[in-house]
Structure 1
């Protein structure tokens, strides 16, 4: 069985930052600067080991994508309607039946993209004339859009993890706290340590010349809002200038990737 690449210990030191959203005084942002200043980048097709042993060509597309809400489903549905046979290898068979229900636990079911032959129905194989990989991702690139406009929420958010909760303060005020961090294997719950989920903690995927706070600008803006993202980026680069961020141990050494970042504009 193919083993996943070597990973660092997930309990390494992390540097966190918290600030108020300039556009909303009732919104606080907590950000894992160690993750956001890391050199992580998606390495699908260039060293990715996949999430199922022996199926590296599937990337992280084996289990289908669960939809977060109706808006997510409708946005993806509109993108599916744009796909052609050249975009999507399985369109002739599955164009009208690309979702399925799956059990989340003993009581609940949720809708996800259909799994066909062990992978998401939208995953084109390497022999497809239009190229391998996600058909929805390819559609975005072909039409000049960002993939977050065509793909399910879970697909474009990973491996960034956003958690939100309303916090009641001692002075009877209430704020929404959005936490942005690394979706490591613990994010999958009690069974996470048995998964072939490796990329956030492996040096194999920490090969970007720019920090994640810059390369994931579109995704972080969508998750936090434009004003909060701009403040996050400003504060992150300010901390880097002071050398106060605990580095991610999976990012390259001895020269941290932070030294190669572009200056904030």
Structure 2
């Protein structure tokens, strides 16, 4: 099998299988199709995770190595945030207090795991240098987490009702991630230097800023299109005033339900 075809089959086609499986698994109305989609997605994910062994000749294998490196802490972080979110002020299906504590423990372990990848020997290295995808992912994650936590904190503060606990959690998250960013910008890690982290951090900031500007422009453009469309629509037809007969009928119905109505009324 040629190397290019092998890379297409085991990486790019596997990525397409993940997307198709995700769409089938979450948007299909048939149970069999949903199960087939989830299996399709799982097979594609396993194929990409196995690329460090199946596509050692291809640069794409670095992405599979990166996914495998962050799989553990990412799962812990996702499940922990789910437990925290659905053990709070939710109307139905509220989780127990034990689930909430377990969620906090999972988030703490996940963050320590991620921190170990920056400050300890757990840094993803493939094959003999730091994985490029990790250098992009970690500063971006810290920046996005700090930004979103501050924005959501401000929104909850304005529109929230008796959400003091949530505000404290969001503010703590913002302060914690900001502290991690400052430490990484000021102190070298065992494998990642401050100059390297700073370069990737500012590039991540440019990416996030570009996404925010693009999203804002898209919303504004959508609003302009709606406004132009509404101005081009004809005015709705004005209803004719009620006739005397309709007024008499209305008076009869009102009198029937609320009592007699005098002529003056």
**Which structure would you say has the larger RCO, counting Cα contacts within 8 Å and 6 or more residues apart?**
1
TM-score, L = length of structure 1: 0.28
Higher relative strand content:
1
Higher relative helix content:
2
